[in-house]
Amino acid sequence: MKDWRGKTADGTFAVQLQAPVLRALDRLCREARASETGGILIGRYSDELSVAIVREATPPPSDSLRGRAWFVRGVSGLGDMLGNKWRAKERTYYVGEWHFHPVAHVEPSGDDFEQMLKISHAKEYDCKEPLLLIVGTGKQDGWRSLRAFVCPAGCAPLELLPWVGAADAK
């Protein structure tokens, strides 16, 4: 499995989901079966700040709540975990949210975007442009259906569309 890369139509925002993240997402979605689930995305930005590099997708915290068509991500243990990631030699931090819709064609809900707007303005997250990944059961390019968005504070969410970078064009 290769990394997944996406960028906005205007090229302003870009994301790279590393292959281990995709494998973890696949496993977590399989474990959820017919219920929604989710967690947070941890990563960093490229040196020139042009690409959000997602290095980890966490499982749902133990205090998360979920059902067939809804998910509320809990917070248990996240503060300590993120503090440890920040203090580690290779510093990583919160870059967004992911969740699973157990359907083939994924569509973000109004609640999904409302949550991301709140996060983009929240001081405790310190993330003005959070990512939102929604994973489904359908297949695209040999993997689960996936839609990615960046949700800048004060702006409408922008979809990150799959793209092939120079390193991938071999």
Active-site amino acid positions = 36
Dihedral sign (CA 38, 40, 44, 50): positive
Distance, in Å, from the CA atom of 56 to the CA atom of 33, rounded to the nearest integer, reads 21
Pair 42, 56: CB distance under 8 Å: yes
DSSP-based three-state secondary structure for 108:
coil
Which residue(s) pair with 23 in the sheet?
none
Distance set, CA 48 to CA 9, 45, 88, 89, 150 (Å): 19, 8, 21, 19, 18
Contacts of residue 52, defined as CB under 8 A and 6 or more positions apart, other chains included, come to: 13, 14, 15, 16, 43, 44, 45, 95, 96, 129, 131, 150
Q: Which residue has the tokens 């042009």?
A: 50
